[in-house]
Amino acid sequence: MTVTDRLGRVALIGLPVAFLAAFFLWPVVSILWRGLAPDGNVDLFAIGAVAGDASLRSVAWFTFWQAAVSTLVTLALGLPGAYVLSRYRFHGRALLRALVTVPFVMPTVVVGAAFGALGVTRSITAILLAHAFFNYAVVTRTVGSLWAQLDDREQQAARVLGAGRARVFWSVTLPALRPAIGAAAAIVFLFCFTSFGVILILGGPGSSTIETEIYRQTAQQLDLQTAAVLSLLQLVAVLAVIGVSNRARRRQSAAASLRGGGEHTLPVRGRRRLVLAANLAVMGTLLGLPLAELVRRSLRGGLDGYRALTATTSGFLEPPIDAVWTSLRFALTATLLAVAIGGAAAVALTRTRRRHTRRWLDALVMLPLGISAVTVGFGFLITFDSPPLELRTSPAIIPIAHALVAIPFVVRLTVPVLDAIDPRQREAAAVLGASPRRVWQEIDLPIATRALVVAAGFAAAISLGEFGATLFIVRPDTTTLPVLIYRLLGRPGEAMFTQAMAASTILMILTAVTVLAIERLRAPESAVF
C-alpha cells in the first residue's frame, strides 16, 4: 500500500466521522448537557420534574399509542398491496410500483395540506390516514421485495404434504416473510413515533407528540430545559426500538430461503381480479385522492393561487415564489454534501476488513436516521450560536441539516450495491493485470456511480421536503418551500389556503419528478430500506 492509498483510506473514514461528530454528536451531546446540567452541575431534578408532569406524561403516552396504531393500520393496508405488487402480473405494474413510492418522499407539509384539502383534519383519523399514506410504500417495498423472491417450492412442498392454502400461508409464507414484516413495522413505527409535520398540521388540540412538544417548548414557551429532557426521552425511546429490531433481525436473518433467478408472477384471473381491484381501490383512495384533491383545490379560482405566490403582497418580505429557488439551491448543496459524505462512508464500510470498525462506523452513520429531525434542529439551535462554529446566521446551516438527514439513506442505498459486487470479479481483474487502484476504477466505480446517482435523487427529495429541522433554523431570507407552506396554512382566509395548495402542488411536482427519475435508474433488485 502506497502512502497516497493509505491517506485516501484515512480520508474515507475521517470525512464522515468528522462531519457526523461536528454536526450530529456535538449537538446531541449539547442537548444532553442542557437537559441534565443546566447550570453546569448535573441536575437530575429536571428529569423528575418532566416525568412528574401529568400533561407531559400524556404527551408521551399519545406519542406511543398513535405510532403503534398507525403501524397496525399501515401494515393492514400495505401487506395486501405488497402481495399484489410483487406477485401479480398485470399491465402497468412497474409504473404502479413507482407511483406508490411517491407518497413516501412527499414532504410532510404537502401531505398535511392534502388531507386538509380533503377536509380530513384535526382528528386522530387524519393522523392515522396520513401516516398510512406515507408509509404504505415502506411496507410494499420491504415486504414485497422479499415476497417476490420467496422460493415457491417450499409452499409447493407444503401443499404436496397435505396443507391447504390458508395453512400454507400461516405456516410457511408468513414465517418466511416475518423478517421483512418486522423490519417494515420497526421503520414505520419509528417514522410515526418521530412524526412532526403531520401532527403539527393535522393533529387536534389534544394530539401533541414528544416531537411537537419539543418544538412548542422551544419556540413558544422558551423552556429549553424541558425541551432538552424531552429530546433525551425521545432519543432513548428511538434507540430502544432500533436495538430491539436489530436484535430481532439478527436472529431471523437467513430464515427465508430465496430462489435465485427472476421473479415468478401469477396471471390475474378469476378471484385474483377481485383482489387486484380491491387493492387498486385502496391505493387510489389512500394515495391518489389526497394528492388529486390538493391539485384541484390549488386551481380554485384558476391560476390566482399561483399568481399570488409571485407577488409581495401576501405579507412576506419577498415574493413567496423565491422559496422555490431557495429550496432548489439548498437541495443541490445538501445532495452534494450527502453524496460525498455518505458515499465515502459507504466505500469505507465495504472496504474495511476489521469487523468492529465496520460495526461502529455503521452505527454512527445510521444514528441520524433514528434521531428525529426536530432534535437535530434543536441541537443546531443551541450548539451553533457561539464560536467555534457560529453558523446560526449562515445559510450553510440548512443544507448541512438536510444532508445529515439524508446521509443514512445514501449509505443504505449504496452499501448493498457495493457489497453485492462478486469479489471474484475484482480477482479476475487483478489476474488480468489491473492494479488495486485500477480494479477500483474498472469494477467498483461504474457500479458505485449508478448507486450514488440513485442516492442523490433520494437525498434531493429529502432535502426538498425537510421540515422539522428546518423550522428551527430557518430565517426570513432562507424560507424553504415546506416552511412557506406551513406559514401559509397558518394564515386565515380562503386566498391564503389556495396559495398554500398552489405551493404544495409545486413542491409535490418537484419531488415526484425527482423520484420518478430515480425510479428509472435504480437497479430492480436493490431494496430501499
Residues in contact with other proteins by CB under 8 A are 422, 424-425, 427-436, 438, 442-443, 446-447
Between 265 and 435, CB nearer to other proteins: 435
Between 285 and 435, CB nearer to other proteins: 435
Q: Are 128 and 195 spatial neighbours (Cβ–Cβ below 8 Å)?
A: no
Query: What would the grid cell of residue 519 be?
Result: 425510479
Radius of gyration (C-alpha) of the chain in whole angstroms: 24
**Closest distance between other proteins and the C-beta of residue 87, in Å?**
24
Between 151 and 442, CB nearer to other proteins: 442
Residue 476 is classified by DSSP as: G
**Closest distance between other proteins and the C-beta of residue 431, in Å?**
4
Between 22 and 430, CB nearer to other proteins: 430
Q: How far is CA 524 from CA 94, 97, 134, 262, 513, in A?
A: 10, 11, 22, 11, 19
Task: Decide: residue 9, CB within 10 A, 0-12 exposed, 13-18 middle, 19+ buried.
Answer: middle
Phi, psi of 113 (to 5 degrees): -65, -40
**Closest distance between other proteins and the C-beta of residue 89, in Å?**
22
Between 102 and 429, CB nearer to other proteins: 429
**Closest distance between other proteins and the C-beta of residue 435, in Å?**
5
**Closest distance between other proteins and the C-beta of residue 527, in Å?**
19
Instruction: Return all residues near 116 (Cβ < 8 A) that are at least 6 apart.
Output: 201, 202, 489
Question: Could you give the CA distance from residue 209 to residue 222 in angstroms, rounded to a whole number?
Answer: 18
Between 29 and 428, CB nearer to other proteins: 428
**Closest distance between other proteins and the C-beta of residue 4, in Å?**
17
Cα–Cα–Cα angle for 134, 135, 136, nearest 5°?
100
Between 154 and 442, CB nearer to other proteins: 442
| Cross-strand partners of 88 | 266
Between 223 and 427, CB nearer to other proteins: 427
- Please name which of 299, 279, 354, 252 lies closest in space to residue 100, comparing C-alpha atoms: 279
Residue 150 is classified by DSSP as: B
Between 274 and 420, CB nearer to other proteins: 420
Question: Could you give the CA distance from residue 331 to residue 25 in angstroms, rounded to a whole number?
Answer: 23
Task: Please list the alpha-helical segments (H only) found in 220-321.
Answer: 224-252, 271-283, 289-298, 304-309
**Closest distance between other proteins and the C-beta of residue 418, in Å?**
14
**Closest distance between other proteins and the C-beta of residue 428, in Å?**
4
Task: Please list the alpha-helical segments (H only) found in 352-480.
Answer: 355-370, 373-383, 397-419, 423-431, 436-439, 445-465, 468-473
**Closest distance between other proteins and the C-beta of residue 420, in Å?**
11
3-state secondary structure (DSSP) of residue 267: strand
